[in-house]
Amino acid sequence: MNPVEPTEPLEDEATLQLDANGNLCHLLTLKGIGKSLLTDILDDAENYLTRPGELPARSQTLAGRTVANLFFEASTRTRASFDLAGRRLGADVLNLDVNTSSRKKGESILDTIYTLEAMQVDAMVVRDASAGVPAYIARHVLPHVSILNAGESDVSHPTQGLLDVLTIRQHKADFANMAVAIVGDIRHSRVAMSTSQALLTLGVGEIRLISPPVLAPVDGKIPGGLVFDNLKEGLRDADVVMALRIQRERIGNIDGIPGIDEYFANFGVSRESMKFARPDAIVMHPGPMNRGIEIEGVLADGPQSVITQQVTNGVAVRMAVLDRIGKTMAARQ
């Protein structure tokens, strides 16, 4: 990627994602998504939930439209979730295995985007390891094309933030008096960023960020977050406990994280450590889990866990977002 250097200040990505009427045309970040819009999306998502064993909800909002999954980083679950969300809304979904083709040939991201645009792809779901790519793309597409951020470096993963607060809301009504503890590799986590943002928008009482010092957030990364390096203190009376995935490669290779056992003993979310949280606290994880490292397997499968519900909600919030963007598209015509 050779981004053209801007000669004037770029429009803020938060502004870029809303059209002149305040309708969602991209989903780049949860910044700038106000409480009212965020709540509307969660409410819409509830309508896409059915009970296990029932047929999933469907609509034809995107009939005739094409959605492209453009994953420059490998992913099974997020890609599958967007794929099913798009198809259950009637879209044609094009899955592009980008690693093995255009990038190998040295094509720039923008040329890939222009190509898809020219094939009348209406929405592109983008995951990339570099910060700024979704907004960069959104600034360059034609006005009728929508960009959805499906994971951006360590800075943003907006649909994950939405599905997390939807899941919390299904169990805990009172955000103002809620303490949410996020545990693990905060520093490198796009999930921590987007989920905290959504929680702040909903007026959460307290966000606690618990990690070894070396994985603590850099200053100002998560405004309003209280930083802890002691799991028990951080979990005290928490209503919601979210364990984050740690990359195994970091363990043993970073000062202060000598080994798996020590990491699990000090920062593992487990039945033992959950004793410090409220008895009715829920346990979350964005997946995929490293059982026995950042979370105890028995806890993940137990009654406090809402982890599979997060997955179900993931499809529903993606349908809600795609549906809303599809309606913005239809209104333009």
| 274 within 8 A of 316, measured Cβ to Cβ | no
Strand runs labelled E in the chain:
66-71, 92-96, 123-128, 146-152, 179-183, 206-210, 225-228, 240-243, 282-284
Q: How many residues bind its own copies (CB under 8 A)?
A: 62
Q: Is 12 in the site for its own copies (CB under 8 A)?
A: no
Q: Is 143 in the site for its own copies (CB under 8 A)?
A: yes
Amino acid identity, position 312:
T
Q: Identify which range of 20-28, 89-97, 203-211, 259-267 contacts its own copies by CB under 8 A.
A: 89-97
Q: Does residue 151 sit in helix, strand or coil?
A: strand
Q: Is 328 in the site for its own copies (CB under 8 A)?
A: no
| 23 within 8 A of 144, measured Cβ to Cβ | no
Q: Is 20 in the site for its own copies (CB under 8 A)?
A: no
Q: Identify which range of 108-116, 178-186, 216-224, 276-284 contacts its own copies by CB under 8 A.
A: 108-116
Using the minimum distance from each CB to its own copies, give the nearer residue, 38 or 85: 85
Residue indicated by tokens 């960020």: 209
Residue 218, classified by CB atoms within 10 Å of its CB into exposed (0-12), middle (13-18) or buried (19+), is exposed
SS (H, E, C) 10-29: CCCHHHHCECCCCCECCECC
Structural tokens at position 65:
């439209």
Structural tokens at position 248:
């195994």
Shortest Cβ distance from residue 135 to its own copies (Å)?
19
CA distance 226 to 206: 8
Stretch 291-320: interaction string toward its own copies, x if CB under 8 A: x----------------xxxxx-xx-----
CA distance 183 to 191: 11
CA distance 194 to 57: 26
Chain positions 29 to 58 lying near its own copies, rule: CB under 8 A, are: 50, 52-56, 58
Q: Is 218 in the site for its own copies (CB under 8 A)?
A: no
Q: Is 217 in the site for its own copies (CB under 8 A)?
A: no
Q: Is 331 in the site for its own copies (CB under 8 A)?
A: no
Using the minimum distance from each CB to its own copies, give the nearer residue, 142 or 218: 142
Q: Is 6 in the site for its own copies (CB under 8 A)?
A: no
Q: Is 159 in the site for its own copies (CB under 8 A)?
A: no
Binding site for its own copies (CB under 8 A): 50, 52-56, 58, 64-66, 68, 74-77, 80-81, 83-84, 87-88, 92, 94, 96-98, 100-102, 104-108, 111-112, 114-120, 142-144, 248, 287-291, 308-312, 314-315, 329, 332-333
